[in-house]
Structure 1
Amino acid sequence: MSMPFYVSPEQLMKDRADYARKGIARGRSVVVLAYDEGIAFATENPSRALHKISEIYDRIAFAAVGKYNEFENLRVAGVRYADLRGYSYDRQDVNARGLANAYAQTLGTVFTTESKPLEVELVVAEVGHVAEEDQIYRLSYDGSVADEHGFVAMGGQAEQLTERLREGWAPGLDLAGAVRLAVDVLGSQPEGEPRVLTPGQLEVAVLDRTRSRRAFRRVAAPALGTLLGQPAGDDAPTDGAATTDGAAPDVSAATDERG
């Protein structure tokens, strides 16, 4: 009888972490930053069907990078969690902290017990009635949670994007300034000239604290073009390349789509 190969727990965890990080790094980056009247979300995503930024509850939103089918399952689970808690108790009892903890448990359990970790990184944000009450939580593939302040970038070249955000962000930015900064950061490249991203290539949404309950709203291409000072024509690629990073979509491999 042959003996099974032995792999130390440390090596097993390292291999899983490396696998998840590589998968997440292939996704297009998401930038989240606070502005004077709420929280803005931006990402390069010409697809109008596969959203990376979504509403969870009254004043809570969700953004993700990685494998689309995996983070979409987490988004749906978050909506169900929020609806059930709001129905069972009170709508004010649903908050980003509780949702982030629930996601952390799920991500951590999968990372430690399943053969393949989830290749996703998440942001859960809640807009408060004043800027000091805003909450932004970043969740990694292993279930670790970071309480971010002001801004966060994830996916792709997250470290470089974070440095650029640190240089350009300041409390009290208006919406136009926040969106321009986010788009400039997303278009930056480690080497060479920065890319100019047009409204048709972007997905942008905000949590607007001035709205009474449903704070989440998407910024449509015409309004986004006005904020960026660009025409809002639909210049997204027509070959379906929106569903994957760097390759045309393969219907037979839809579960490997990354955003």
Structure 2
Amino acid sequence: MTMPFYVAPEQLMKDRADYARKGIARGRALTALSVRDGILICAENRSNTLRKVSEIYDRIAFAGVGRYNEFDQLRIAGVRHADLKGYTYSREDVEARSLANQYAQLLGQTFTHEMKPMEVEILVAEVASGPDHDQMFHVLYDGTVNDEAGYTVLGGEADSIAERLGQTYDPDWDVGDAVRAAAAALSGPERTLVADDLEVAILSRETGRRAFKRIEGEDLAGLFG
């Protein structure tokens, strides 16, 4: 009888992490900023049909980077979970924290027990009455949850993008300021991104129960001046 090939658990986890990080790094990044008017999410995405940013529930948004088919499955699962919980209990019981924990469990289980980890990072964001109370949860491919404050960046070159954004970030920005700053951080010094290169949405503080709104077309182009 042949003996199975042995790989140390530490090496196995490292290989899976490297594999997931390489897959995520091949995609384009996105950033989310908590500002005066709400939570703005800006992603580099030239597709008019494949969305990285979506609504999950009343005041909660989802964003993902990496393999589209994988994070879209997670989005659908989150919508179903939120709808069921809101219907069974009340709409106020649906919150970003519990959704992020559900995603973390699913991603952690896949990372630990499946042959191939999910090549995704996701963001679950919930807007509040003011920037100090906004919630943004950055969930990594291995199920690690980071509770972010102010702004966060997901995807390829996240460290350099976050450094550029951190040099100018101001929680008192309006939507236009936030869009221009996000585009400048995502593009870096060697490129220029225009409205057609971006997918932008906001969780607005002023629109009542349904806070999610896409900013596109002439409205987005106007924010670039």
Q: Give TM class, smaller chain.
A: over 0.9
State the SS of the aligned residue for 1:27. Answer: coil
* 1:207 alignment partner, one of 198, 203, 206: 203
Counterpart-to-counterpart distance in 1, 2:206 and 2:89: 25
Alignment partners' CA distance in 1, 2:157 and 2:209: 35
| Partner residue, 1:257 | none
Alpha-carbon offset, residue 104 of structure 1: 0.3
Aligned to 2:56, what secondary structure does the other structure show?
A: strand
Alignment of 1:21 with 2:17, yes or no, is: no
Give the whole-Å Cα distance in 1 for the aligned partners of 2:41 and 2:197.
14
> Structure 1 residue runs of 4+, over 3 Å off?
none
The 5 A counterparts of 1:1-259 are 1-188=1-188, 193-229=189-225
**Alpha-carbon separation, structure 1, partners of 2:118 and 2:173:** 34
Aligned CA RMSD, in angstroms, stands at 0.8
Report how far residue 130 of structure 1 moved: 2.3
Deviations 1:40-89 (A, max 9, x none): 01111111110000000000001110000000000000000000000000
Mapped partners of 1:196, 1:8: distance in 2: 45
SS in 1 for 2:50: coil
What per-residue deviation string (whole Å, max 9, x for no partner) do you get for residues 175-198 of structure 1? Answer: 11111000001111xxxx531211
Give me the whole-angstrom Cα distance separating, in 1, the residues matched to 2:48 and 2:213: 15
CA distance in 2, matches of 1:203, 1:170: 21
What per-residue deviation string (whole Å, max 9, x for no partner) do you get for residues 223-254 of structure 1? 1111111xxxxxxxxxxxxxxxxxxxxxxxxx
Structure 1 residue 132: deviation in Å?
2.1
Inter-partner Cα distance in structure 2 for 1:108 and 1:22: 18
Distance 1:80 1:27 in 2: 26
CA distance in 1 between partners of 2:131 and 2:44 (Å) = 26
Equivalences, count: 225
1:31 and 1:221 mapped to 2: Cα distance? Answer: 20
Task: State the secondary structure of the residue aligned to 1:168.
Answer: coil
Q: What is the distance in 2 between the residues matched to 1:207 and 1:108?
A: 28
**What letter matches 1:205 in structure 2?**
A
Identity within the alignment, %: 56
Mapped partners of 1:169, 1:194: distance in 2: 20
- Unaligned 5+ segments in structure 1 are 230-259
- One-letter code of the match for 2:78? G
- Classify the secondary structure of the residue corresponding to 1:39: strand
Counterpart code for 2:77: A
